[in-house]
Amino acid sequence: MKNNFIDFHSGPEVDIILIKGLLEKVGIYGIVQNDYNSGNMAGFVGGTLDTVRLKVREEDIQKANEILKDFMDSKQ
């Protein structure tokens, strides 16, 4: 379970980069999954331009949710 990464949030790449940075400030490290770019590099199209996924470790999800809520509240 310690290294089990799960989907945490998806959205525009700019938001994902910002959220990832906020999480890293508190020691939560994630993986960005961009299916569109991955597909282009492999020679086919996969995913959409506007949807990128951020994955975090399952054990960090509760703390990460608090940071995500603050981020989303600040956008409104």
Tens of pLDDT, residue by residue over 12-41, are 889 999 999 999 999 999 999 886 554 444
Per-residue 3-state assignment (H helix, E strand, C coil) for 35-62: HHHHHHHHCCCCCCCCCEEEEEEHHHHH
Which residue has better confidence, 42 or 6? 6
Q: What's the structural domain count of the chain?
A: 1
Strand ranges (DSSP E) for 1-76?
5-11, 30-33, 52-57
Q: Assign residue 24 the CATH number of its domain.
A: 3.30.70
What integer pLDDT is reported at residue 32 of this predicted model? 94
What's the first-to-final CA gap in the chain, in angstroms?
A: 34
Polymer length in residues for the chain: 76
Residue 3 banded pLDDT, cuts 50, 70, 90: confident
Which residue has better confidence, 3 or 64? 64
Region of 29 (left: φ > 0; alpha: ψ -120 to 50; beta: rest) is beta
Domain that holds residue 49: 5-75
Q: Is the pLDDT of residue 73 over 70?
A: yes
